[in-house]
Structure 1
């Protein structure tokens, strides 16, 4: 039996928001993996421990959930007015592919910190104390993200008292600005509302005809009303993830919504595009107990949202989906806006998710019949968990 030695690749394991992943500098990857293609995908799958028929990722860095099966590649940017280029790869847990179709908003909060610590930001732009503004080009969707990273004594400040529901310990606050967040997906119309409607009638075989708001903002997302599919919006993970029929229903909704949004040509393509679009259900405020045991009162939030990622209900909320929620809430007539009480435009919304609450701001304007949002703003936190090298067999890519 052939014995191929392992190789070492410099890497950093980071938490960003309510996700964590393995971060690489592009220049540190093996030459064959510095460009998109099969070698890069195979390498990242092996790093994470996929595909794993046991769905545990025991032989890799992944945590066997959509929130922990993630990879990031960062490089100095050649674009004017940007510091770094950021590429996100969502690694499938049990299937042999990496989904490059969208961004990870949670890990976006760690990109600025990683870039500064890795020497990818001009030292002259990093203050001894204060806030460093890192201009990030999000290469998956072709958008700009501005990260405001706190600096203390010339180094990234990671500890602090900012609390984020879904994350156990407090840390330093990192504010993110997602500029012009309407996602420009390949195959889509380029419009924030690809069907041209704020609310559509979406026919889903075996489910029925559902009202749906389908939006490209942050990440393509399909919003439906919770009550239309038999839920209240107060559900925690086990209520959905422990029900195979529910998961199959949401995947069917996602596939048919993806076709209507122009992201795929046929529903059979959805299986190869797990990261986007997301599907979420919304409801009016109600009292519930979050997964941590924290009481969330109806008066604490404007609406309730539950979202699925990679086929499972997310334990908190994806950062990019939070951008979609904030954007849709700002536009009168969407299902998100109506669940938040309707009325006119709003500049911010606080919503309840399985782990607690989150506030996101977005200001929408309408011109020529088209809606647009200049930026969406939210706060997250990030922290280095481990740094050094990951090891993989030398013949795995």
Structure 2
């Protein structure tokens, strides 16, 4: 290899080495940049009163339901209503062949006339015997017989009148009328069908759906806890005569009208362990139909002196206790154990463990460590009571409050 070529390679290697050493020296002089201070969003909490509602499943039921049945035997001659249409109370629905019952009425009238004639005759004879017995013209025995005959004739008249009344009632039953106002269902019989009063043949059904009942099912355990909270003062009634109820339909939409709680069951269903609550809703547009599945929010009262904390701000430690992360006055993070109650509209109700105006971190808690210094990004206003707080049954969890944070 020529000397000039070897010399060039040596010069190039020396230059590369010099550049590498220079860069290494520069790297040793440059210090790593400190990590940025994390920004957190906080919310100041305070005690307040929260109206509570419980969400319960239920089904709609008609306000009135009447099964129209035959009360006499006969052939259906005519149906006088449109199936599925609204009918008024007293409106004729069916006509059963009245001919046999008209004949029964005529027979009863004739029997009554005969009994009245016998009564008139026996009464006249008794009046004559009253005069004759005073002058000993007739025997006392004959007078007693005349008096008994008159009383028997009077009884026959009364019996004939009762028979005539029964015959007229049965004749009236041949015209079947609506017992209530409401919406008719499918007719169970057609023209020409034979119906029986003894077996009370079902003709049709009428339901009144304005207003509409909603039957709800509440666990007996939840009801027991509710009564205990009220007795202990942890839950106060709002003073209304009837608890208000809002309804969510099968498609997830909210029913426009609110209802009122009519009554609460007094016994527990042994098969389901639940108690039936009944609410009443106006239904002028007939949007609600019997048998629909719904979910109802029932007001239970007001929970006083409690805090609301967003659900994402609450985590669980290894012991399963509920914890939140606080930002202290020196902007350092502190973990606090709290005691939570029900989950209401995405917020835990915190009964112990926090003090007014303490700042809790509302998001990104998993990336933070206790003792770290943070920068407060934005402070949300203190929590206020929700106008329609709905408690989720069985959502509460309990932790042990730190002694220093006890109220």
TM-score norm. by structure 1 comes to 0.18
Q: Which has the higher contact order (CA 8 A, sep 6+)?
A: 2
If you compute each CA radius of gyration, which structure gives the higher value, 1 or 2? Answer: 2
TM-score norm. by structure 2 comes to 0.18
Q: Which has the higher helix share?
A: 2
